[in-house]
Structures are given as structure tokens and as C-alpha cells.
Amino acid sequence: NQALRPPPGPRGLPLIGNMFQFKPSNSHIYFSNLGKTYGSIFTLGLMGKSMVVIQSAELAKEVLQKQDENFCSRPQTAGRKKLSYNGLDIALSPYSEYLKEIKKVLVVNLLSSKNVDSFAPIRQEEVSRLIQKVSSLSFASKTVNLSQLVLNYAASNASRITFGKRYDDEDVFGSRYWSLLHEAEYMFTTFFFSDYIYLGGWIDKLTGQYSRLEKTFKDLDAIYDKIIDDHLHAIKLKSEQHDIVDVLLRLMNDTSFPFKLTIHHIKAILMNLFSGGANTTTAGVIWTLTELMKNPIPMKKVQEELRKAVLNTGCITKLDLSKLEYFKAVIKESLRLHPPAPLLIPRETTRKTNINGYDILPKTIVVLNGWAIGRDPKYWMDPDIFMPERFLGSSMDLMGMTMIPFGGGRRMCPASAFGLANLELALANLLFSFDWELPAGLNKDDIDTNVLPGLVTHKEKELCLIAKKFEFAGK
Ligand code: HEM
């Protein structure tokens, strides 16, 4: 028996290891800095558990492609377990036959390119509403809270497509939606003692973590109940409506489906669509606008390109990306620097394996640092600088291994087409229809890039700008 050779790593404290050395909100930056000492693969000890961090394109290829089946499960933590109804969802559940089947159902019925095209009218209606809201704020010379408005747009899109109902500030979900999404993100990444130590649940009770989790769960659960009740009622009335919730409800009674679905399965999947659908698009649009505000030359270039290519004065309805090379490059550059999920979603090994000469045991937590990979100086010149030009005429793309905004392999994001379509349309319209300025007294260096904790990282301070309507001179 050969002795095990684990990846190197910083020495931790007795018992707790490296546990409290980093905050969930900036762990991608902390890991990236550790890489300067320990290289592109290292281990951290978390109260007796091991977490291996991987942050190079070569090792990402090993994990996401060559050895994908060894790295394709997900670790269960108290927050993720509770909010996914004990791992019945897609994004947070361990790898299983159920996961494979249900992911297929989601892709065929909701996320395929054909479906994404068929949702174009909904996207267009929602983007017109967004532009109208910004126009009226601009007309009234009021500051535009883009973080809030873009989340409304992304959430409306996701909710209309997934459960046939628009999300609005006034409606039953609206006022709580924003805070609930952030709270859920916090619960996905926060620390629970019960995940690491026997009887740790008592400490989580004393610190209030459990009651906070329970409240988030109950609030979300009530929303899913309402959505499912509405659909069951509509089915009784033989409504023509047909969305993914209807598909899942029908599947509950479909004996040919290899797994017995319950209402809990449906709620768990709704949770993925809720947070996946709205959070990632919002983060993508807001980080791109943040970088463009900090970089006036790319801002001018992308607006000129859009205004030259688009022939009408109103809302852009369809994007011909082949004519918008610079716009495409801006989006890639933003996803390189600010992947909405900088550490993807953590993986767990399914068996003992070896990578780069290091042994990794089964059930080890594995984190791929997409944020660090996208800034690796080996592949990216001046990696911290926002420079869309680097993508012009380049073969680097979103699905390679030198940047991994959608992850890869069996657990890759199934919604890249859906997510990009939402992101591109909102961004193109906001850039085409308005010139953007900072509120009086601020300059571009005042825009911070701190992030809130979560699997998806939002800007800590909401992006608030002044919009000046662009007057189209005609062609
Ligand atoms: C720009 C938009 C988006 C980005 C950047 C993004 C990114 C990601 C990433 C990094 C992962 C983890 C992949 C891995 O572990 O290898 C993921 C998984 C996932 N995403 Fe997305 N996503 C986006 C949009 C969406 C949307 C709109 C939805 C749903 C409507 C969605 C649903 C999911 C689901 C269900 C998974 C779990 C897949 C699995 O575990 O097998 N995503 N996404």
C-alpha cells in the first residue's frame, strides 16, 4: 500500500484547520492569492474535512472532462440540503440516475435552443417594460437603481417562462423576492457547525443560524405552494397553459417515468429555476455595466457599434450577434473577469482518484476557482484589465477551459443559451437606449467591486446611475 500524497496546503489550527481564515463573500480572491504560494491545486482543512481547490485551465480540463465522473457529485451542507428539500433539486443534489433523468426533462421542456427561441416574445415584452421604467426615471431626472430593475426583468422572464406568471413589485412575491434571493444565496454558502462536528446543531441553534434558515425555507416554501396550487387549479379548469410546472405535475402521475416525483421534487426544482434564472442574468448584466462605467472607451465603442447596427429608434427586439463583434467581446470579457458563479457550484469526489500526482479521497469537497482561471496570466495578458479587444479575432470562447463561466462536464450549466439570451437582450437595450452617467459627486473610481456572499456573487452596493435618453438622429 503506497502512502497517500494529498495536495499541499497552508497549515491550519488544531481541530478547526483553515476554517475561519476566509469569508464566503471573497473566498475566490483568497484562494487565488493562496495559489501564489501553493500552486494551482491545494488542500484546506475544514474541521476534519478536506477541501481541494483547483485553479488552472489544465487541471480544470482534468476535473471537468477527463475525470468528470470522479468529480461530478455535490457536497451536502445544512443550508443547501434544507433549501433543496434534501437534495431533490438539480444544482445541489448528489450525482445519481434521478439527477440525469430530471436534468433531461428540464432541458427538453425548457432550456433547449428551440425553447429559448420560442420564448423570444416574452423576453421582448419584459425588456420593453425595463426600458420604459428606465425612461420614466430618466424623464423625472431620478437615479436608476439598475441592480433592482435588472433583477425585476430577469425574475419576470424566469417566472413567466417557468410558471406562467409575471413577477411584479406589487404582487404576492414581489416585495420579498429580492431579499429572499439574497438570503437563499447566503444560506448556500454560510457555515453551519452541524456540517462538521457531532452535536454542532446545538451551536447552530444558539447562534440563530437554524432559525434564520428555517424562516428562509418557510418563506420560499409558501411561494412554491402558491405556484403549485395555481397550476393544480388551472389543470382542473383544463387551462391551455403549459409550462414546466405543468410538465412536472403531469410527470408525478406518469408511471413510465423511472422515478416517483412528489411535490417536494417540484419545489426543489422551482428553487433552482428561481435563483438560477434570475440571479445569474442579473449578476452578468450588472457586472458588465459596472466595468463599462469604469472604462469609458469600451463603453463608447460598444454603444457606437449597437447604434450603427440597429436601424430602429425603439427597443432592440432581435440581436444579430454576427454584426456585433465588439458587443460579443464585451460580454465575454465581463464573464471572464466576473463569472456570476466564481467558484461554480462545489463538487464532491465520487471515488478515490489521483490528479497531478496527488491523491484525493472519496467525498472530498472540490472547488474550481473559475474567477482565478479567467485571470491566469499564463493565458490572459494584463489579466485584471477590462479589455474586450482581446477577444476580437480570438478563438477563446465561453465553453473552453481557459474561462469556465458555465462550468463543464456532467454538471455543466444546462441553461447557457437561456441565460445568455436574457443577458444579451437586456444589456443591448440598456446600452442602445441610454447614455449613462454617475450620480453627481461620484467618479468612476468610486464604483466598488465588493461582493455579497453566495454561490452567485452580486455587487455589494447596488449599481445606481443616471440615464440620459439617447436621441436617435435617424439613418
Ligand atoms: C449567464 C447565466 C448563467 C451562468 C453564468 C450560469 C453558471 C452556472 C454554473 C457555473 C453552474 C455550475 C456548473 C458546474 O458545476 O460545472 C451552473 C449550474 C446550473 N445552472 Fe446555471 N448559469 C446561468 C444561467 C442559468 C439559468 C438561467 C438557469 C435556469 C433557468 C440555470 C440553471 C442551472 C442549473 C439547474 C444548474 C445545475 C446543473 C447540475 O448540477 O447538473 N443557470 N450554472
Indicate if ligand 1 lies below 6 Å from the C-beta of 90: yes
Give dist(CA 29, CA 343) in Å, integer.
10
User: Per DSSP, what are the bridge partners of residue 43?
Assistant: 52
Please give the helix or strand (H or E) that residue 347 lies within, else none: strand 347-348
Q: Which three cell numbers stand for residue 126?
A: 419584459
**Strand order across the 41-46 sheet:** 41-46, 49-54, 365-368, 347-348
14-52 exposure pattern, b = at least 16 Cβ within 10 A, e = fewer:
eeebbbeebebbbbbbbbbebbeebebbbbbbbbeebbb
- C-beta atoms surrounding 169 within 10 Å: 11
Give dist(CA 439, CA 466) in Å, integer.
6
The DSSP output letter for 460 is: S
Task: Please tell me the predicted confidence (pLDDT) of residue 155.
Answer: 87
| Cα–ligand 1 centroid distance for 279 (angstroms) | 10
| Cα–ligand 1 centroid distance for 345 (angstroms) | 9
Give dist(CA 185, CA 169) in Å, integer.
20
What is the pTM (predicted TM-score) of this model? 0.93
Q: Which residues contact 380 (CB under 8 A, 6 or more apart)?
A: 336, 374, 390, 402
Indicate if ligand 1 lies below 6 Å from the C-beta of 164: no
Q: 413: annotated binding-site residue? A: yes
Task: Please tell me the predicted confidence (pLDDT) of residue 352.
Answer: 96
Closest among 166, 174, 160, 154 to 243, alpha carbons compared: 160
The DSSP output letter for 13 is: B
Tens digit of each residue's pLDDT (9 = 90 or more) over 197-238: 888 899 999 999 999 999 999 999 998 898 899 888 876 656
206-234 exposure pattern, b = at least 16 Cβ within 10 A, e = fewer:
eeebbebbeebbeebeebbeebbebbeeb
Tens digit of each residue's pLDDT (9 = 90 or more) over 136-148: 999 999 999 999 9
Per-residue pLDDT of the chain (475 residues; tens, 9 = 90+): 567 899 999 998 888 888 888 877 789 999 999 999 999 999 999 888 899 999 999 999 999 999 999 999 999 999 999 999 999 999 999 999 999 999 999 999 999 988 898 999 999 999 999 999 999 999 999 999 999 999 989 988 888 888 787 755 555 555 677 788 888 888 988 888 898 888 889 999 999 999 999 999 999 999 889 889 988 887 665 655 578 898 999 999 899 999 999 999 999 999 998 888 888 999 999 999 999 999 999 999 999 999 988 766 667 877 777 789 999 999 999 999 999 999 999 999 999 999 999 999 999 999 999 999 999 999 999 999 999 999 998 877 888 899 999 999 999 999 999 999 999 999 999 999 999 999 999 999 999 888 888 889 999 999 999 999 988 765 5
Tell me the ipTM for this assembly. Answer: 0.99
| Cα–ligand 1 centroid distance for 89 (angstroms) | 13
Task: Please tell me the predicted confidence (pLDDT) of residue 357.
Answer: 95
Indicate if ligand 1 lies below 6 Å from the C-beta of 411: yes
CA 80 to chain centre: 15
